[in-house]
């Protein structure tokens, strides 16, 4: 069993393959956190708790003057509460009927079940009964009669423990939940760093590592979405931890809205992490008998560095977050017309792009923005989801059928959450817009936001999209959202309920996505929010991959995709080859480099194929063939970060088959020097006793170089790349591998390693 309950001592021990998590009810009935780390036995770890009298850390009334060393302000707690003696960051804050904000929770009982719990109206990790167990612990406040249910889902083989919370008003007066975090986690006297992932539009999820010092540090979003600016994922690690060594803990929040992740090192060097919905714009009213369910947080532990932690999360997201027909089905190679045409196109132009794409092996054409309403720029038309037949020159169904006749599938772009002031929908329903009465709203991209907290708005979007998806042969939907939310107010909520708006908005979004993905299971939904502005496990529950960034420059993508890889698998990352000079950075890079970077994701193109040279078209054929041949390995293999983008010369990553018999190493030079020092990496994930053949992928350059350059390069190839030369797995993993040198700026290589 993964969950062990010692009923005599009230100890709860949760085991995964490599970790142990433990709680204990103490003599006063408080639930204390005693251990989370490398797997141990069922020993009572509360012996590590050291109490002494700390000035200005008060004592519970039950203790009286008998033991001044006992204080909630210093004890490691399982779910921390505000207002009753713990002055650190708290997980739960409630305004009681009398206006007070004190809550104090005592243990009541536990429930143990096979299988994984679910959360009403919210995405969550799922698993079969033979893969998981659930522990539910119920705590009560005997004074306010608040009841808190703590949920723990254990996926033993994945090294995953999930957390969620339910707050129930068992009293006779209304209460207001002002903060209800999904987890609170205490470590006794640990000296940690933490790694978070910050960014901005066109440059998302950049890793930053900093020491957790005394005081409070936090990341979060009050933008209505999880945001480009901070991802709802963080790693706590011991000093010196790296890709292959050291203890580290990953926390990933399964939520697409406003969040807060806080860490605090307290007066006695203990560390607390709290994660949940951001409380700044949150209040949830609970009448007697009502309940509130928090989103889920995923915890994972690795004693062997960040690499194993990432692979724990990758497997869990692939197998226990992503759902539906497209969970394991190969995603089509697509071309999106956005960077080819922007708003300026006709139906005939789109068909021509599709024709050329089909000849090269592209499988899907995606029509981006501009096909509906009065929409020739981004100043009008959002909300009017009716095809512009004058612009298309035919109905949308006829256009789709013409594109299908070229030999590719048809996909389409929507931005269902947004509305333009210059739209028929706005003129008919101005009350559907998110804005504070009597104030002019802030514009972003000259658009406003539809109030997805309203059921009538949700129903309208479901109806309009269903009509189109039912009538037109569409197999792919790109769901976009191109602004942050402010002026938060709903015309349908009373004054005392406005604090519920931001969360109700996300619940409304999830309801719409659930209905549409259930109604149209054959359609592949791609998530997008100006690229990676809502790249989180909550969206992946409905859209099995997300457009990683609007920035398609492969050198910028090295950092973006590197940061993304810490918490998310390759199979969730939308990545496309675009034209040069790149539309975001104006950088010029080799076609092969753009392809190799995009192959570490859901592969496609964002350019006008009809304007490409015959040589470039031939390269596209080769790129698509290579990607399809390597698809299973790329999408399902184990991912290893070998050299980061911050290295002097080269970024290198590897994807290895789970059985260790095959691997692909991709290396991209971002710096070229005369007389360079060799770039060397240690391969991972192979079989030490196996013998391997190295193959350098030369398909994109060998027929393009003059003999002088080709001979120079061949003379510089390190040992092992010659035909018939074998190297042991142990040598590659412990000795290393030399990456071939660059012969041009931004040179990229793919190296295939196969066991013989």
Q: Annotated catalytic sites, by residue?
A: 536, 616
Burial of 366 (0-12, 13-18, 19+ CB in 10 A): buried
Selection from 273, 270, 199 nearest residue 566 by Cα: 199
Supply the Cα-derived Rg of the chain in whole angstroms.
27
Burial of 190 (0-12, 13-18, 19+ CB in 10 A): middle
Task: Look at the block and give the residue holding tokens 């919905």.
Answer: 277
List Cα–Cα distances, 27 to 9, 10, 65, 175, 622, in angstroms.
10, 10, 16, 29, 69
> Residue 137 in contact with residue 110, Cβ under 8 Å?
yes
Render 55-102 in DSSP notation, one character per residue: TT----TTTTTS-TT--TTTS-BSS-BSSSS--S--SEEEE-TTS---
> Residue 94 in contact with residue 47, Cβ under 8 Å?
no
Altogether, the residues listed in the chain come to a count of: 756
Selection from 377, 533, 387 nearest residue 445 by Cα: 377
SS3 517: helix
For residue 731, what is the DSSP state? Answer: I
Residue partners of 398: CB distance under 8 A and separation at least 6 = none
List Cα–Cα distances, 566 to 23, 274, 513, 558, in angstroms.
28, 20, 26, 13
Instruction: Encode 526-551: b = buried (16+ Cβ within 10 Å), e = exposed.
Output: bbbbbbbbbbbbbbbbbbbbbbbbbb
């Amino acid at each position: 069993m993964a969950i062990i309950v010692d009923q005599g001592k009230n100890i709860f021990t949760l085991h995964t393959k490599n970790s142990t998590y433990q709680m204990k009810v103490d003599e006063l009935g408080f639930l204390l956190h005693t251990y989370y780390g490398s797997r141990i036995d069922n020993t009572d770890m509360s012996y590590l708790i050291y109490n002494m009298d700390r000035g200005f850390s008060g004592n519970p009334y039950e203790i009286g003057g008998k033991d001044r060393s006992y204080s909630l302000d210093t004890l490691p707690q399982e779910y921390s509460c505000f207002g009753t003696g713990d002055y650190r960051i708290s997980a739960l804050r409630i305004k009681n009927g009398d206006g007070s904000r004190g809550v104090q929770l005592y243990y009541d009982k536990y429930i143990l079940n096979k299988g994984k719990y679910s959360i009403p109206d919210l995405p969550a990790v799922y698993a079969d009964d033979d893969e998981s167990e659930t522990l539910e612990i119920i705590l009560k406040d005997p004074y306010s009669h608040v009841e808190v249910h703590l949920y723990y889902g254990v996926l033993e083989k994945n090294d995953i423990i999930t957390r969620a919370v339910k707050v129930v008003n068992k009293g006779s007066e209304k209460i207001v939940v002002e903060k209800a975090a999904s987890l609170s986690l205490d470590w006794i006297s640990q000296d940690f760093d933490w790694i978070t992932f910050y960014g901005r539009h066109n440059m998302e999820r950049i890793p930053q590592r900093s020491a957790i010092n005394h005081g409070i540090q936090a990341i979060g979003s009050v933008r209505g979405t999880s945001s480009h600016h901070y991802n709802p994922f963080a790693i706590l690690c011991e000093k010196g931890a790296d890709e292959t060594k050291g203890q580290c803990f990953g926390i990933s929040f399964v939520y697409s809205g406003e969040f807060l992740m806080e860490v605090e090192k307290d007066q006695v060097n203990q560390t607390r992490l709290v994660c949940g919905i951001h409380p700044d714009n949150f209040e949830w009213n609970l009448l007697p008998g009502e309940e509130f369910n928090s989103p889920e947080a995923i915890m994972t532990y690795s004693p062997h560095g960040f690499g194993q932690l990432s692979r724990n999360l990758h497997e869990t997201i692939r197998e226990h977050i992503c759902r539906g027909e497209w969970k394991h089905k190969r995603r089509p190679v697509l071309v999106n017309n956005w960077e080819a045409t922007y708003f300026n196109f006709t139906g005939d132009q789109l068909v021509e792009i599709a024709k050329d794409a089909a000849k090269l092996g592209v499988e899907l054409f995606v029509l981006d923005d501009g096909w509906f309403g009065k929409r020739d720029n981004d100043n009008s038309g959002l909300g009017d989801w009716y095809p512009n037949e004058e612009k298309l020159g035919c109905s949308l169904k006829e256009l789709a059928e013409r594109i299908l006749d070229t030999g590719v599938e048809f996909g389409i772009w929507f931005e269902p959450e947004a509305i333009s002031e210059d739209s028929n929908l706005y003129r008919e329903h101005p009350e559907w817009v998110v804005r504070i009465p009597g104030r002019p709203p802030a514009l972003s991209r000259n658009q406003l936001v539809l109030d997805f907290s309203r059921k009538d708005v949700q129903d309208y979007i479901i109806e309009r999209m269903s009509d189109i998806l039912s009538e037109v042969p569409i197999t792919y939907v790109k769901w976009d959202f191109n602004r942050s939310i402010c002026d938060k107010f709903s015309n349908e909520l009373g004054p005392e309920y406005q604090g519920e708006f931001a969360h109700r908005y996300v619940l409304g979004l999830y309801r719409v996505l659930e209905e549409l993905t259930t109604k149209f299971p054959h359609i592949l939904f791609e998530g997008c929010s100006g690229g990676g502005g809502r790249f989180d496990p909550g969206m992946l529950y409905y859209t099995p991959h997300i457009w990683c960034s609007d920035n398609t420059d492969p050198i910028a993508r090295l950092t973006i995709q590197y940061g993304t890889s810490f918490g998310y698998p390759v199979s969730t990352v939308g990545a496309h080859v675009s034209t040069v000079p790149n539309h975001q950075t104006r950088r010029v890079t080799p076609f092969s480099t753009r392809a190799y970077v995009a192959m570490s994701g859901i592969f496609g193109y964002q350019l006008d194929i009809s304007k490409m040279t015959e040589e470039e078209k031939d390269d596209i054929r080769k790129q698509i063939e290579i990607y399809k041949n390597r698809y299973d390995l790329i999408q399902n293999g184990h991912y290893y970060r070998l050299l980061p983008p911050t290295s002097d010369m080269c970024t290198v990553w590897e994807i290895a088959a789970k059985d260790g018999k095959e691997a692909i190493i991709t290396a991209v030079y971002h710096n070229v020097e005369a007389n360079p020092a060799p770039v060397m990496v240690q391969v991972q994930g192979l079989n030490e006793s196996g013998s391997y053949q190295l193959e350098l992928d030369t398909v994109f350059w060998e027929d393009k170089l003059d003999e002088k350059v080709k001979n120079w390069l061949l003379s510089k190839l390190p040992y092992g790349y010659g035909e018939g030369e074998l190297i042991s797995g142990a040598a590659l993993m412990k000795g290393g591998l030399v990456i071939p040198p660059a012969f041009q700026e931004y040179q990229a290589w793919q190296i295939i390693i196969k066991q013989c």
